[in-house]
Structure 1
Amino acid sequence: MVMTVRLNRLTKRPKLLTAPIVADHLILLDRRCRCRGMKEVKPGLGATMATPQRQEWPFPPGAECFAAWKKAISLLVDCSLPEDADPALFDFHGSSWQLPGAFLHVSGGSAMAMSRTQQVIDERPTPHMVLFMVLSGRVTSNYDGLVQEHEPGDIVVVDYSLPYESQTSGFEAITLTFDKASVPAELQNNAHGLVLTANDPTGAMLGTQIKALAEHIDGLSVHQGQVTVDGILQFAAAAYATPTTRERRDRRFLFQRASSTARQSLSDPDFGPDELVNALGVSRSKLFRLFEPYGGVQRWMLAERLRGSLQSILRSTPDHKIAAIARNHGFRSEAHFSRAFHKRYQISPSSVRTLAGESMRMATYETMLRHGGGNGGAIVEAWLAAARA
């Protein structure tokens, strides 16, 4: 758990804002940031003495909470719940503070999904960006084609002018919203989806600053709060601008392109590293470095073909020949397929089919699929290991 004990008082049952207040705050933030820019502003006595006002979400878990959350969040994104989620059990909570050039929000909730497609961007434009820090739970997000899994301690940049989608089974987080035009260029340019983790020294330092702001903001003046935010954004700009951080993001994106391209052709036994190099337009050495953690391109492709065939065996009927499944997944012969399959799983394809015929084991597999977050290949291998044990 990343959160400190003192920070828990903010996320225990703090609340967010109703829809009109969200809109008012964003408009106010936009106006203030555009006037303020990066110029030094001397605070008046009111800003020096006044403390930021906490706004709290007034709805306990339930259907009314869900309806209000959906109305408020729809100002920026399309939102929904998982198909098997009950709105009567929906939970969302949060606290928000308005500063002259930023909007701090500590929030959490149950399973939900949000998306800001290009259509939403066109219909509901906003000039803002956010730093989003996960405190607990997991969040899977797609940043204009780059899919990333966020866990506690991760801090990601989200640019509202670019598409993104996210889904979670439950989370607690801190969000810092700011005007894109008012921050250093390192955060404005090509920062969408950049991530710092708690294992990165700069990520750990940035996380400490963000959590300290959320923990102590009630005791700061408006001016002190804004000065703190300015320092956080200056440090974040320097942290995210490092070549290592951007290269890490770009490598993830290239790997996703490569893996997606390869999966579309895995049924072709003639498709290999050379064909993938040509499809991507990258050098063979760069492609190998990309797949080096998986033992190379060939080994990764073999593993994917075997996972796919394992899933097909479980879904197929007894009259569907093993040889046909092998051909459909890029194996030239049933013998080659059986040897590779047994080497990886220490069991024959026909024995897996026997296991799949037992209703109790298949019911376990279906349950794992429903709650496994969509990673079917990993789930089917975990099921097989459990079934063999």
Structure 2
Amino acid sequence: MDPEVFDTRYLPRSQQFEAWKQWYGRVFDTVPLRPELQGFEAKHLTWRLDGFAFSRVTAPGVSGRRSRTLIHRDSIDHWVITLTKRGTHKVLAGDIVAEPAPGVPLVQSLADPMESERSDYDRVQLYLGRDDFREIAAVMDAARDVPLDSPNGRLLAEYLLLLERSLPTLEQGAAQGLKDALRAMVAACIKPTADRIVEAATPIRASRLELVRRAVERRLRVSALDAAMLCKEVGMSRSQLYRLLDGEGGVARYIQSKRLVAAYEELRDGENPKPISAIAFELCFPDASSFSRMFRRQFGISPSDVRGASFGRLIQAHTSNDRLLLKPESFGDLIRFL
């Protein structure tokens, strides 16, 4: 699924912030935190689906304000769940001041006046239309403006990161199932009950797998990586971890598979000069021959064949097919009809 893209980097530097300001203008008034800097290189990607939208934004520091005047002028009232990946984020909503740390979700409503301030940042946001998510309205409204700094909030954060990774390859026909999973997952993480946790079993498992996947990929080159280290890293018991990865072939097999995938990516890079033996050693394989045997078992091709194909340009990296919109519809128009 292709996102809608707004990217100021392709505009003259003198026009970049004004374009960004106009893009958000019907929803937020924006001011750069460092107006003395020339240029404002920022990028906004939005995936629109039935009843909800997901966005990723990378931008310099900025302050924003959604005033009552803007709300009366444009009555978008979606809920939005924000996850800051990099940078600081401070929000003022009525008498509430919230400063969620990176990795901590925050629920807000565009029906409320608010002010925010961000340093240079990278964030993802999930917009939920009230009509399509009315079954969880009470849950969403009760959670407004309070950072979800809890184990369940961490699960929701992992699910948002999983969405970010998965949406570019999502088939359009899967949107309805995703909406149902979102509804269940958000309710279970914000206001968990036994019934909600059962209903959200599938997305909860997906979030836990994402948590483990990212922990494994951070430690791929650590030879001591094992079940005990993973349990400590992700906050799971040994039995929970083994149940979670049972369908993946077990903990040791899962770690090995991720290391082999990392090796494949290095080998398919025609500009990577490392010898195959060095790649195997860095990824904690005991020797080149056992690495080659495991590699062929997983991919049906030898490491040297992958390396040769990459040099021969037979294996091509995926290229982005984002659509560059220099004069797109506004952000307000983009999310209005969820």
Match of 2:118 in 1: 168
Query: TM-score, normalised to structure 1's length?
Result: 0.46
Match of 1:56 in 2: 5
Deviations 1:36-87 (A, max 9, x none): xxxxxxxxxxxxxxxx3222223208332211110010110111123x4235
Q: Assess, with a 3 A threshold, how the Cα gap between structure 1 residues 195 and 226 changes in structure 2: closer, same or farther.
A: farther
Match of 1:213 in 2: 163
**Deviation, structure 1 residue 139:** 0.5
**Partners of 2:8 and 2:20 within 8 A in 1:** no
Match of 1:97 in 2: 47
Superposed, 1:24-173 pairs within 5 Å as 52-60=1-9, 62-82=13-33, 84-86=34-36, 88-173=38-123
Query: TM-score, normalised to structure 2's length?
Result: 0.52
**Partners of 2:90 and 2:117 within 8 A in 1:** yes
Deviations 1:210-264 (A, max 9, x none): 1111101111112324422432232222322369xxxxxxxxxxxxxxxxxxxxx
**Rounded Cα–Cα distance in structure 2 between residues aligned with 1:77 and 1:219:** 30
**Deviation, structure 1 residue 190:** 3.0
Residue 88 of structure 1: SS of its match in structure 2?
Answer: coil
Is 1:186 aligned with 2:132?
no
**Rounded Cα–Cα distance in structure 2 between residues aligned with 1:204 and 1:97:** 23
Identify the structure with the greater helix proportion.
Answer: 1
Q: Which amino acid is the alignment partner of residue 27 of structure 2?
A: L
Q: Which amino acid is the alignment partner of residue 8 of structure 2?
A: F
Deviations 1:106-125 (A, max 9, x none): 11111101011222211221
**Rounded Cα–Cα distance in structure 2 between residues aligned with 1:181 and 1:60:** 36
Residue 195 of structure 1: SS of its match in structure 2?
Answer: coil
Q: Percent identity?
A: 19
**Partners of 2:56 and 2:124 within 8 A in 1:** yes
Superposed, 1:1-389 pairs within 5 Å as 52-60=1-9, 62-82=13-33, 84-86=34-36, 88-183=38-133, 184-197=136-149, 200-241=150-191
Residue 161 of structure 1: SS of its match in structure 2?
Answer: coil
Which of the pair has the greater relative contact order for Cα pairs under 8 Å at 6+ separation?
2
Q: Which amino acid is the alignment partner of residue 146 of structure 2?
A: L
Deviations 1:277-314 (A, max 9, x none): xxxxxxxxxxxxxxxxxxxxxxxxxxxxxxxxxxxxxx
Deviations 1:180-205 (A, max 9, x none): 232113344333213213xx211121
Q: Which amino acid is the alignment partner of residue 123 of structure 1?
A: R
**Rounded Cα–Cα distance in structure 2 between residues aligned with 1:154 and 1:188:** 16
Q: Which amino acid is the alignment partner of residue 148 of structure 2?
A: L
Q: Assess, with a 3 A threshold, how the Cα gap between structure 1 residues 188 and 212 changes in structure 2: closer, same or farther.
A: closer
The structure that has the greater radius of gyration is 1
Q: Which amino acid is the alignment partner of residue 4 of structure 2?
A: Q
Q: Assess, with a 3 A threshold, how the Cα gap between structure 1 residues 218 and 64 changes in structure 2: closer, same or farther.
A: same
**Partners of 2:91 and 2:117 within 8 A in 1:** yes
Match of 1:303 in 2: none
How many pairs does the alignment contain?
189
**Partners of 2:91 and 2:97 within 8 A in 1:** yes
**Partners of 1:186 and 1:240 within 8 A in 2:** no
**Partners of 1:107 and 1:174 within 8 A in 2:** yes
Residue 21 of structure 2: SS of its match in structure 1?
Answer: helix
Residue 164 of structure 2: SS of its match in structure 1?
Answer: helix
**Rounded Cα–Cα distance in structure 1 between residues aligned with 2:138 and 2:191:** 6
